[in-house]
Amino acid sequence: MRLAPYLAYFKKSFLNRSAYRFDHLMGILSTCLRMFIFWEIYKALYGGRQQVDGITMSMVTTNFILSMGMEAAFYVDDFFMPHRINNGSIATELLRPMSFKGRMIAENMGNAAFHLCFRFGPAFVIACFLMGIQLPASPKMFVMFLVSGILGYGVLWTISFAVQMLAFWLVNVWSVVTIKNVFINVLSGTMIPLWFMPDWMEGVLHVTPFSSIYFTPVQIYLGQLTIGEIALKCGVQMFWIVVLYLVGDVLWRRGQKKLVVQGG
């Protein structure tokens, strides 16, 4: 498979993002404001205490800074496919001598790379100065955090991929995308760290794809997992990437047989 066309789409996507400077600045401001609001909320909840149930305020701060930072960096266009189905351009896209799914990945990674460099980076630096953040447990854990973060992005992308394929059957996938985003926001540990969930619920969430997106990398960063547990968690991440991709691929193949494009 020739990589040049996909690298071209990656570059185009990256450069297109740089054209919207005001949107970029508002994104940094939005991320910082969300971090600051959550910081104030948890400061009030902790009420000056150093820790609650063994979870320190510093751990909570690190969790939402890293989670929201990754959320800003892990850009996924949930309407990439639905938009092309609705306007009929999917017919032209399918005739291109390249993988449409490969193009989806390339463009999303271009967007994510831009957000990582120019949204996550500045917001992370500002948050560290204003709120403070724990250093990684060790250099080894930081490397594993990066690996798990990449896998977390893979889980997020494959969830979006599977949901987008429903556009072959639904006129508008906005409601499904909204429900998906609510589940991710609530169950991934971004808004409420999974440490504070009931024991039975936390156990269930750890085997779902949602905790694999943000919370697993944060746990590794904080040194809460042993090497064996890290291998298991990364295995869970890879399992969900494969399963969700296969689900999306089945919908993709069946959807192409059902597709009817009208125009002239």
Facing residues of 56 across strands? 51
pTM as predicted = 0.89
**1 band by pLDDT with thresholds 50, 70 and 90:** low
**How large a percentage of the chain has pLDDT more than 90?**
33
Which amino acid is present at 246?
L
What pLDDT sits at residue 248? 94
What does the pLDDT look like over 170-208, one tens digit per residue? 878 999 999 999 999 888 888 888 888 888 887 788 788
**In which element (H, E) is residue 52 found?**
strand 51-52
> CA-based angle 170:175:179, to the nearest 5?
125
**pLDDT > 70: percent of the chain:** 98
Alpha carbon of 12 to those of 21, 71, 166, 175, 200: distances in Å?
16, 22, 27, 29, 46
156/184 Cα distance (integer angstroms): 9
Chain segment 78-101, per-residue pLDDT in tens: 999 989 888 878 878 888 888 888
Side chain identity at 172, as an amino acid letter?
N
Domain range annotation of the chain? 4-258
Q: Which of 156, 114, 109, 115 is nearest to 9 (CA)?
A: 109
Task: Tell me what the mean pLDDT of segment 97-109 comes to.
Answer: 87
Chain center to CA of 11 = 20
As a whole number of angstroms, the distance between CA 212 and CA 147 comes to 12
Note the pLDDT tens digit of each residue in 69-82.
888 788 888 999 98
